Structure formats: structure tokens, C-alpha cells
């Protein structure tokens, strides 16, 4: 019986029926984990509990939904420029929340550079979204704008990746429940650090969704980010570096404070800017 019900709930995806946002959320995001981590960072660095979190480049705002679920005092403001993921998020993520939880989320279809109020305790920008600002002045303007949007004890958290693999052109497949996720570095320009990355999905029946998501980015180093955060007024910048699973050699999901990192083929880190 147990086996039958397990089989019945296993997702069966094909290119014709799969929804690219479902696949994205399944394969890329781990928002429950990130919500807990961000909460831990705030309590550690600010010695108090946060209330309002702004999710920049929020897409389907899964993170914000998990944020308001986490604590009945938590509120979220989500900002994304594209109506498509916002509509999808309203239908599939917001609708899963209770009325009380929904009342603590505000969704804004806007450019992150244009939103400064209300002042937030925390701003997050995840999945490397700030890398779409390719010029130094553009990224500095964004960081200035985040600085202005934070209350006096505000905290800004973003992620970063790198390593020798980040500078190469390659496809990296990973098995997920019911489909295969492929992360492609289609192009990397060593002289400018511009990169074009793509997400593709393959299915068990042989069908594929190519170019489900495409990103034109500049690969910013944590040092460049730290320098820019300092220039716009952040008093302190902390890096959190992921540990390595000794058996697999892969990241183990445990992030600890670090000053220098290690020369891994592929690494992920969080960057925290403190006002």
C-alpha cells in the first residue's frame, strides 16, 4: 500500500506538461533553509528579531512566502520587474498561505532601483540576480539604493559563486525528482567577466525544455562586492563560505564565517552587508 501511494505522488514530468517555474523552484531554490539562515544572521549581527524583509528580484517570491510562514510577526515586500513570475507566484505560492500570512506580504511590480520605502530590516537578493548589473556604477547605484531602503540596523544578504568551473564553458547536469536539471555556462569572457548562463530541463520520456531561463551577467567577485558595499556606506561586510562533504567532495550546505575561502573548482558563498 505504502509503495503504491508513494508511486502515486511521484511527479511525472514531460516537456509538454511541465511548468518551468515548478521545475525552477524544485531544482534551484531551497527557501526554507535560506529563511532560517537569514533569520540566524540577523539575530547574530543585530541581537534582535527582524520584522520587514524585502525580497529583491523576487520572481515567484517563494522566499517571501516562507518568510511570513516562519513567524506571525514577519512581513515581506517583494519586488520584481516582470509581471509573469509575479502572476505565477500569486496563483501558485501566495494562494498556499493562510489569509493572515497573505496579509503580511506586499508584492510590487517595479524596478529594484526605484523602491526605497518602507524601510526594511533585511534586503535579500538571491540566486546571483544582482549580477545583471554589469557596470561598476550600475551595481554601486543598486547598492546605494539598498542602503537607503534599510532601517538603521539594516542587513543586506546576497549570494555569490565562483571557482575555476565558473570561468569555463560547460553544462552541468543534476538529477532531481522526476527530471534532470542542467546548468549551462554557455559563454564566459575572461577579459570582462561577462557570462551567459542557461537552465535546461530533460525528462524521462526523452523530451527537453531548452533555455527555460537565460541570464546575461557579469561574474562579480566577493572582494569587488565588499569594496562597493563599503563605498556606499555599509560599515561591515561578512562572508559565509560553504563547507565540503568529505565523501562526495560537494558542498555540504553548512555555511561558516570566512575571510579567504578555498580554491575550489566550484564554490558558493553568502555576502552580508551591515549598516
Decide: residue 73, CB within 10 A, 0-12 exposed, 13-18 middle, 19+ buried: exposed
Q: Which of 15, 22, 29, 166 binds ligand SAM (CB under 6 A)?
A: 29
Residue 85, classed as helix, strand or coil, is helix
Q: 108 preceded by cis ω (within 30°)? A: no
131 belongs to the binding site for ligand SAM (CB under 6 A)? no
* Greatest distance between any 2 Cα atoms in the chain: 62
Please report how close the Cβ of residue 263 comes to ligand SAM at its closest, in angstroms: 26
From the list 125-133, 145-153, 200-208, 238-246, the region that binds ligand SAM by CB under 6 A is: 125-133
- 85 binds ligand SAM, rule: CB under 6 A: yes
Instruction: Pick the closer one to ligand SAM by CB: 183 or 244.
Output: 183
Stretch that binds ligand SAM, among 41-49, 53-61, 227-235, 238-246 (CB under 6 A): 53-61
CB 190 within 8 A of CB 167: yes
> Is 57 a residue that touches ligand SAM (CB under 6 A)?
yes
Residue nearest to ligand SAM as judged by C-beta position: 59
Q: Is 59 in the site for ligand SAM (CB under 6 A)?
A: yes
Q: For residues 65 and 92, is the Cβ–Cβ distance under 8 A?
A: no
Query: Is 262 one of the binding residues for ligand SAM (CB under 6 A)?
Result: no
- Judge contact between 159 and 138, C-beta under 8 A: no
264 part of the interface to ligand SAM, by CB under 6 A? no
132 near ligand SAM, rule: CB under 6 A: yes
d(CA 239, CA 217): 21
Q: Is 28 in the site for ligand SAM (CB under 6 A)?
A: yes
Residues of span 104-123 touching ligand SAM by CB under 6 A? 111-112
Give the three cell numbers for residue 107. 508584492
Q: Binding of ligand SAM at residue 129 (CB under 6 A)?
A: yes
Q: How far is residue 83's CA from residue 96's CA, in Å, rounded to a whole number?
A: 19
Q: Which of 19, 32, 82, 245 binds ligand SAM (CB under 6 A)?
A: 82
**All cell numbers assigned to 239:** 562572508
To the nearest whole angstrom, how small is the minimum distance from the Cβ of residue 47 to ligand SAM? 27
Shortest distance (Å) from residue 89 CB to ligand SAM: 9
Q: How far apart are CA 67 and CA 101, in angstroms?
A: 9
Contacts 24+ apart (CB under 8 A), 191-200: 192/218, 193/218, 193/219, 193/220, 194/134, 194/218, 194/219, 195/166, 195/219, 199/24, 199/27, 199/28, 200/171
Query: Minimum distance from CB of 82 to ligand SAM (Å)?
Result: 3
Q: Which residues bind ligand SAM (CB under 6 A)?
A: 28-29, 57-59, 79-82, 85, 111-112, 126-127, 129, 132
Amino acid at each position: 500500500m505504502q509503495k503504491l501511494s508513494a508511486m502515486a505522488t511521484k511527479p511525472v514530468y514531460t516537456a509538454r506538461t511541465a511548468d518551468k517555474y515548478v521545475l525552477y523552484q524544485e531544482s534551484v531554490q531551497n527557501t526554507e533553509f535560506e529563511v532560517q539562515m537569514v533569520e540566524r544572521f540577523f539575530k547574530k549581527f543585530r541581537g534582535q528579531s527582524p520584522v520587514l524583509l524585502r525580497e529583491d528580484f523576487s520572481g515567484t517570491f517563494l522566499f517571501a512566502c516562507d518568510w511570513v510562514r516562519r513567524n506571525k510577526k514577519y512581513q515581506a515586500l517583494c519586488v520584481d520587474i516582470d509581471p509573469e513570475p509575479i502572476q505565477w507566484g500569486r496563483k501558485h505560492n501566495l494562494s498556499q498561505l493562510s489569509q493572515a500570512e497573505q496579509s503580511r506580504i506586499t508584492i510590487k511590480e517595479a524596478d529594484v532601483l526605484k523602491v526605497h520605502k518602507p524601510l526594511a530590516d533585511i534586503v535579500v537578493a538571491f540566486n546571483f540576480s544582482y549580477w545583471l548589473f554589469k557596470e561598476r556604477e550600475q551595481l554601486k547605484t543598486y547598492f546605494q539604493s539598498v542602503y537607503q531602503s534599510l532601517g538603521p540596523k539594516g542587513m543586506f544578504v546576497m549570494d555569490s559563486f565562483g571557482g575555476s568551473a565558473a570561468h569555463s564553458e560547460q553544462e552541468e547536469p543534476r538529477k532531481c525528482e522526476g527530471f534532470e536539471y542542467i546548468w549551462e555556462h554557455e559563454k564566459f569572457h575572461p577579459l570582462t567577466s561577462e557570462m551567459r548562463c542557461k537552465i535546461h530541463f530533460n525528462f524521462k520520456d526523452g523530451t527537453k525544455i531548452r533555455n527555460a531561463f537565460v541570464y546575461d551577467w557579469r561574474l562579480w567577485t566577493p572582494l569587488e562586492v565588499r569594496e562597493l558595499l563599503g563605498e556606499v556606506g555599509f560599515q561591515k561586510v561578512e562572508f559565509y563560505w560553504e563547507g565540503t562533504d568529505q565523501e562526495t567532495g560537494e558542498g555540504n550546505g553548512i555555511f561558516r564565517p570566512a575571510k579567504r575561502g578555498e580554491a575550489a573548482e566550484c564554490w558558493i558563498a553568502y555576502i552580508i552587508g551591515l549598516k
